[in-house]
Structure formats: C-alpha cells, structure tokens
Amino acid sequence: MIGTTCYFDSQVVFYFHKMKLTQQQKNFIRQNEQHDVRELALKLDNGKQRELNVEFILKQISGRQTAKEKFPFFYANDEIIYPVHLSLEQASSEATANYKVSLIPDGYKTFVDLTGGMGVDFTILSQRFILSVYVEQDPELCEIAANNFQTLGLQGFVVKNEASETFVEKMSLTDMVFLDPARRDDAGRKVIRIEDCSPDVSEIQNALLTKAKLVVIKFSPMLDISSAVRSLKKVSEVHVVSVENECKELLFLLSSQAEDTVYYAVNLNKGGNIEVFSFTPEEERSLEIPFTRTIGKYLYEPNASILKAGAFKSVAQQYAVQKLHVNSHLYTSDNQISTFPGRVFEVKEWFVPNKKNVKSFLSLTKKANIAVRNFPLSVAEIRRKTGLREGGDVYLFATTVADSEKIWVIGTKL
C-alpha cells in the first residue's frame, strides 16, 4: 500500500508499508538463483509451498539473475524487491545510469523522474540532488521502488503514484526532469517512434521546457536520431551510449536555451575507460573527404556509437584516416592511430577475391573472424564458399573501396 508524503522543515518524509522478504524466502532465493526459472516453476507447487509465494519468489530469482550483470549494486543487497521482467528489461544498466550523472550541471538541487519504473536511474541520479521525485503510474512499481529506496538508504525522495502527463500539469519548477518513455504498445509489441511511446514526449515537451531547466529523455537505440531531433524542440545534445561496443540507449537533452545540437558518441568500457567523440550534424554534412582504393598498414572500425550517430566523415577528418568508400565505414592509415575510438587492426594483406587469390589465402588459413562491410556476400555465404571455420586470430573484412572495387582485407586485432 502506498503511503503519503509530508514536508517538515524542508525535509521530505515518506511513509509506507515496508515490503520484506522472509528469511525462508531469502534462503530459497540464494540456494536457487543459479537455476533456470522455467525449470523451477515446473518443480514448485504453490499449494504445497504456499509460505514461499511461488509466483513472487520466481520473480525475485529472475530479477536477481538480471541484476547480477546489469545493476550489481542492486544484486549486492538481498533485501531488494524485483518487479516483473518487462520493467527489468527497460531499466538502465548501472553503467549507463552512472554516465547520466556526468550530464547533471553543477548547482542543480531538484529532480523529477517522470517514468520511475524499476528505479535504477532514479537511485543513482537522485544522490546528486537535495530533493528527488519518483513518478510512476503503476502502484505496484511505486511500492517496490519505495521499499528499495529505503533499503538502499536514499534520502530526500518522494514517490508519486500518478501518470506522468497528469503530474506535469501541476508540477512545480524544477532543475531537471528525466523520462524513459515506455516502448511497448497496448498489445505488448515493441515500438520505436517517439509518437508511439508512452508518454508521447512530443506532446508534453512545451510544458516540460517551461518547468525544467534541463530535460533528459532516454530512447531506444533503434530510434532514428535525425527524425527525433526534428520532432523534438530545443535539443541541445544527443548522447549515443554504448557499453562494450553495444549500443544501449540514446539520450536527448532539451533546454529552452538550446540553439545548435551537438552529438556525443560514447562507448563505456570495463575498467572505467570511456571513449567520447563529439561533432555536429552540420559539420558532418558539410565535410568533403577523399576516398581511397589502397589499404595502408592499419585498418579501423569505429565503435557502435559513432556508427549509430552517423559521424562517418567527421571521424575520418578528426583522426586523419582515410575512408574506403562512401558506404564502407572502414578507415585506413600508414601510421597507427592508437587513440582511434573503435577497433584497430594491423593489415597483413589485402586483395581482390578472385579464384586465384582466394585459393592462395585458403592454402594458409583455415579459420578466421569474418566481417562484411558493404559487400555483396553475407558472412554465411563467404563461410560456405570458402569452408573457413570461425575463430582464431585472423580477421577478414570483405568490403568495397573507392571506384567500387570489391576486396578482402586480412589483419590481426591490436
């Protein structure tokens, strides 16, 4: 049951009924959290094991399995309650939530999360503010979030069980607002367009910009960035965020003061290393760069965020590398650029893949990691034609260079 909020001497006090796992439930979760949840569901009997609350306990085991990799700071606390899988699926990872903290300007004191959900972003972001408001229309999620915030020792938070559109209408002025619109329709199907998400930010953005200094919106990496910038107003920054070279989310920063839009391609690596490449769409469009039909000593493949952001010419100019073809997003140089934001390969050879050249290559190579970049054959087709097994230290890039010549580049990863 959700409690009420009261304000006393500028301090926020939240009263609610504390959810709590029994010792028996915690013991069962620890003993079985490595097991397949579907297999456990077939073995457990809700009638005979009523005290465990089978449906609830399976949800907790599934949640901990997700949390162990995605948000380990939740996993480390065995008092955390987990919601349904859909909420876990849309929740940010701990790594991307921590990155969002770097976007908070100094001096900001108040924060509103209009789409609270699992509460991972809220938990991490709220620690930078004096007062933080969690808004969520699902009452069960509100109760779970309230429990978890108290369990994690958060201070100065308010939980509001309300639809975000309704809350925005009466919301007081605040420093920052965060939204992660739901990306499922009423039938449970995934949606991508801004207008199909809930809430539809394009409809409430005017109200948001009049009530918040900064609006941060998280979208699916499948979203078309250019189209979204056109739909939204006053976009000052777009952050394309990847973790270990896998694109995870798009962050749009809106401000009433925004004029130009700057794109940031971000790749978060284990160990805390962060690759950040920035550019503007205007710069990218206006650049004229040459393309090459000759491969140098080194080959470069930009990280996933740069490719998603569309910095195809900008990255070539800033790192002084040559692009192979307008549609081949691979680059080359004779001098090694160790700071290039992506994968770097030392080129061993390159050739036109005619019968003679391919036969010569296969006489010495039995397995390779194959990648296709602007080439008429798929990876599977190349494997079928060559008999090359997967793996090893050899990398084969099938691609197209200037003048539309098809080539294979063979190299080793640095």
- 3 state DSSP class of 216: strand
| Residue 409 near residue 397 (C-beta atoms within 8 A) | yes
Which residue is listed with tokens 């290559």? 361
What is the spatial distance between Cα 341 and Cα 267, in angstroms, rounded to a whole number? 8
Amino acid letter, 68: K
Q: What residues contact 137, with CB distance under 8 A and at least 6 apart?
A: 161, 162, 163, 164
Which residue is listed with tokens 């078309």? 224
Is residue 102 packed enough to be buried (19+ CB in 10 Å), middle (13-18) or exposed (0-12)?
exposed
Amino acid letter, 156: G
Return the number of other C-beta atoms located less than 10 Å from residue 333's C-beta: 20
Over its length of 414 residues, how does the chain's per-residue pLDDT go in tens digits? 333 333 333 334 444 455 788 888 888 888 888 888 888 888 776 555 666 788 888 898 999 999 999 999 999 999 999 998 888 888 999 999 999 999 999 999 999 999 999 999 999 999 999 999 999 999 999 999 999 999 999 999 999 999 999 999 999 999 999 999 876 665 556 666 777 777 888 889 999 999 999 999 999 999 999 999 998 989 999 999 999 999 999 999 999 988 899 999 999 998 888 999 999 999 999 999 999 999 999 999 999 999 999 999 999 999 999 999 999 999 999 999 999 999 999 999 999 999 999 999 999 999 999 999 999 999 999 999 999 999 999 999 999 999 999 999 999 999
Closest CA to 202 of 151, 265, 252, 147: 252
Return the number of other C-beta atoms located less than 10 Å from residue 13's C-beta: 13
Does the global pTM surpass 0.75?
Answer: yes
Q: Which two tokens stand for residue 345?
A: 């390969």
